Structure 1
Amino acid sequence: MSETGITFEQAIERTQDLIQKRENGIIEANQLQEEISGLVATENGARGFFVAYLTNNSSFPDQPSEAVLVALKTSPELVSELLVKNVAMSTAMAITHRRQDNESMAQSSDRVQQRSLNLIQHLKQQLAQEKAQRMRNSALTGEGEADIAFFQRWGYDQEQREAIAQQLEKIL
């Protein structure tokens, strides 16, 4: 199936398969790079890739390989937007899980947050910094139509917005 027609669910499955193949040494770095580049070329593919990659239980996503980084750089707009949103969402969800006394889920959210921040820092893309700055400002000031709509859609409260701003500061 071409990536242009890939569903979110198919992208998750494909990413899980790629991670397993890489860990088992049955896919070369250049093939991994090509596959990930194809996935992140579309919104469904990129969303599915990040869901599977950032939440994967293996250590592979903890230290992104050159193949992963090169692939992610092929779609800077989409990748930057999704990574910044992943920092925000995982930060807010860690707070929600801790409020519900679910430390296991909170730690999973913390891991997604750290992996997202790590990718942003490794990618060193100005676009991600600009998006992080914009979202951080919105979290602190309550201004900025797109980001405020994002916060409202997910129901983030003041504590969550402040925590999001604090994490996004690390990118700037």
Structure 2
Amino acid sequence: MRISLILVASLSLVNGFVLQSSSLYPQTINGLSSKTRFAASTSEEEIALPTLDQLKSDSFIDQVGYASQYVPLLSQEDIDVADMIEAQLSHSDGIRGFFVSYLTGDSPSPADEEVIPAPLKAALESQKSSSDLISLTCMNVIMPTGMITMHTDEELSNNSKMTSKRGIIVAKALLAMNKESGNVEMLKQCQAILKVAKGEVDSEDEDVKYWIEFFSKWGYGDKEKENIAKAMEDLMQ
């Protein structure tokens, strides 16, 4: 069966990225949440996981739903979902859909661990040089970090802080993979973001110009820029 999702009204999606103000809540089935059922059983009678073709081609909203079905399985050592994650990370809608589910799920979550789950590590390794993955991974640090101080509600601010922390863990892992392979593109993007956050702008640098426009678009002020700078310094350590 396919688990449908309720997009809670207070969840803000910007360009497919979560400005964390809530979570995606799966509908309950027979009195149990989908997360509980996933943890309890992995048989075909209980779960109808998406096909690789669906993961490679379906829409963003579908991708969010697909990821919500198997993200809880990441902590089960006898189940390998690396191929499924790799399929999602092969295109922009899949990347965004996967990380909406992975980064914003309720705790405890595999995303809270300092070391990313082995299936996600394998999938990131296979797609590590993707420009979409690099850019969107950076945004998954910037956007929730910016919202920590933009939210006036304490709970929403704390949710953004959680999403930011999870995003940094993923970004650190992806940056390390690219460094090891000699690909400097992600490091260049992180350095450009840090320059913009610190006000050290170079109008001739195309990467810097891109992130200047991005920061301006979402209205980041001095406090947001300060927090984003700290986040970028953290992940580049």
TM-score by length of 2: 0.65
Could you tell me how far 1:50 is from its partner in structure 2? 0.8
Q: 1:154 aligns with which of 207, 214, 218?
A: 218
The reply to whether residue 136 of structure 1 matches residue 194 of structure 2 is yes
Give the Å deviation of 1:27.
Answer: 7.0
8 Å CA contact 2:144, 2:160 repeated in 1:
yes
Instruction: Work out the CA distance in 1 between the residues paired with 2:229 and 2:165.
Output: 15
Structure 1 outlier segments of 4+, above 3 Å: 1-4, 20-23
Inter-partner Cα distance in structure 2 for 1:93 and 1:16: 23
Q: Cα offset for 1:89?
A: 0.6
1:94 maps to what in 2? 148
Pair 154,22 (structure 1): closer, same or farther in 2 beyond 3 Å: same
In the alignment, structure 1 residue 61 sits paired with structure 2 residue 111: yes
Q: Is the 8 A contact 1:94 1:107 kept in 2?
A: yes
Residue in 1 aligned with 2:90?
Answer: 41
Tell me if structure 1 keeps the 8 A contact 2:141–2:164.
yes
Q: Which moved more, 1:68-77 or 1:82-91?
A: 68-77
Higher RCO, Cα 8 Å, sep 6+: 1
User: Percent identity between the aligned chains?
Assistant: 23
Residue 54 of structure 2 corresponds to residue 2 of structure 1: yes
Q: How many equivalent residue pairs? A: 166
More strand by share: 2
Q: Give the SS at the match of 2:235.
A: coil
Question: How many angstroms does 1:47 deviate by?
Answer: 0.7
In structure 1, the gaps of 5 or more residues are none
Return the alpha-carbon distance in structure 1 between the equivalents of residues 167 and 134 of structure 2.
10
- The amino acid of 1:53's aligned partner reads Y
Pick the structure with more helix per residue: 1
Q: In the alignment, which residue of structure 1 is the partner of 2:132?
A: 78
Could you say which structure has the larger radius of gyration?
2
| Other structure's SS at 1:67 match | helix
Cα distance in 2, alignment partners of residues 133 and 171 from structure 1: 11
| Secondary structure, counterpart of 1:74 in structure 2 | helix
Change (3 A) 1:28 1:90: same
2:22 is aligned to none
State how far apart, in whole Å, the 1-side matches of 2:71 and 2:139 are: 22
Q: Unpaired runs of 5+ in structure 2?
A: 1-52, 180-184, 203-207
**Distance in 1, Cα, partners of 2:59 & 2:86:** 16
Q: Does the 8 A contact of 2:172 with 2:235 survive in 1?
A: yes
> Corresponding residue for 1:170?
234
Alpha-carbon offset, residue 158 of structure 1: 2.0
- Tell me how far apart the structure 2 counterparts of residues 118 and 26 of structure 1 sit (CA, whole Å): 20
